[in-house]
Each structure stands twice: as structure tokens, then as C-alpha cells.
Structure 1
């Protein structure tokens, strides 16, 4: 059995966005990490493309895990979280959803959101 490069024990830093494959995968990521920022995106979405380098940067410089859900591939998963537009960002802390924002947010605002829930 092999493990992919995105898995890690709780507390291990993941320095790049994690592509989500299913509801179960998302649940595992949310439950294994203190703070998870989930980006519900679409490849055809201009604001999503502009947000991508911001999220890559945040994955490397914050304690949060950045997870990515392609709404075209995972429509039911997006629907379960009430995603009506992309990008939609859902923030989870200690296994619970604590914030949700539609639209691209600037890096400093996202960093402040994440840092508000990390216990460093």
C-alpha cells in the first residue's frame, strides 16, 4: 500500500494545496488538521485562477492546510456545502466549519482569517 505525498500525521505541515477526491477525503483532511481552508473552484473561473497563487503561498507560509475541490468534478460535494458561486472558501477549525466566503479574498485577509483560528 502506498501513501500519496499529501497525507501526513496531524500537525505535519503540508506546503502545497491538497486536491480533494471525495467527501470522505475532505472529512479526513478536515479531521486530521487543526485548520483547513477549502477552495471550491472551477478551472474556467477567472477569479479562481487569480486566487491560485495566493493559496499556494498561504499553504507554504501558514499552519493551515489548503484543500481544493473542483466543483465541476464534485458537484454533490459543492452542493453539500451550499456553494452557489466560485470561488467559495470554507474555513474549518478543529473539525468544524467556522467561516465561508464567496469570491476571491486578498492574501492578507485570508492570512488573518487563518491566523484567527490557529493555536500557535
Structure 2
């Protein structure tokens, strides 16, 4: 099976993209313009609380949101110095341009990607 840039979390096309490998992460950043990456872990309570906000943002037109499980892809988290979660890193042209750590309002995430 070939590495796809990311997989959708559900069949509606509105879920954030779940990145499953370092290569897929790099491919996603290379193929998209602005990308908001949600670094999370399944065991993280605040991360779970942010899920509906992240999904709402991902459903908006012209918004690319990716999710990276820090336990599964610790090298990616380390590369971008993610030390606390949830962490949201905005990438433009493959480079990080903004970072938000901790629980955020939807408006803060929108502002970060504008």
C-alpha cells in the first residue's frame, strides 16, 4: 500500500487529516499551502476536548488541518519541538510560521491560519 499524504478521519470529507508516517507528513506539507497541524495524543484530556473545534475548523472550505499523534510520530513532534499538547503549528510553504499551545478558541485557530 502506497503512502498517502494523509487519510480522512471519516467518509464525509470534513474530518481533519490523520497523518500516519513521517513521509506522509512531509508530503502533505509539500503539497498544500497553509496547513494547521494539531499535535495530540489519545490519552490527553485537553486534546480530546479540542477535537470538536479542530473538526469544525477542518470542515471549513479552503482549510487544511492535519492531526499528528505525538506517540505514533514522535520524530515529527521532536523535529518541531512539541513539548506540550495540544499544540497547533501553522505551516506555510512547508515552514512553521505560528504556534499555539494548550486549549484554544476556534477564533484563535482561525486567526492563526489567516
Q: How does 1:34-113 map to 2 (within 5 A)?
A: 34-113=33-112
Q: 1:62-89 CA deviation, whole Å, 9 max, x = no partner? A: 4221111111111122111101011011
Relative to the length of structure 2, the TM-score reads 0.84
Q: CA deviation at 1:3?
A: 8.4
Cα separation, 2, equivalents of 1:3 and 1:84? 27
Unaligned runs of 5+ in 1: 8-13
Gaps of 5+ in 2: 8-12
TM-score (norm. length: structure 1): 0.80
Residue by residue over 1:7-58, the C-alpha shift from the partner in whole angstroms, topping out at 9 and shown as x without a partner, is: 7xxxxxx632111112211111111111111111011111101111111111
- Number of positions where the alignment pairs a residue of Structure 1 with one of Structure 2: 109
Q: Distance in 1 between matches of 2:106 and 2:19?
A: 22
1:23 corresponds in structure 2 to: 22
Go from structure 1 to structure 2 and tell me whether the alpha carbon gap of 1:25 and 1:3 turns closer, same or farther (over 3 Å shift): closer
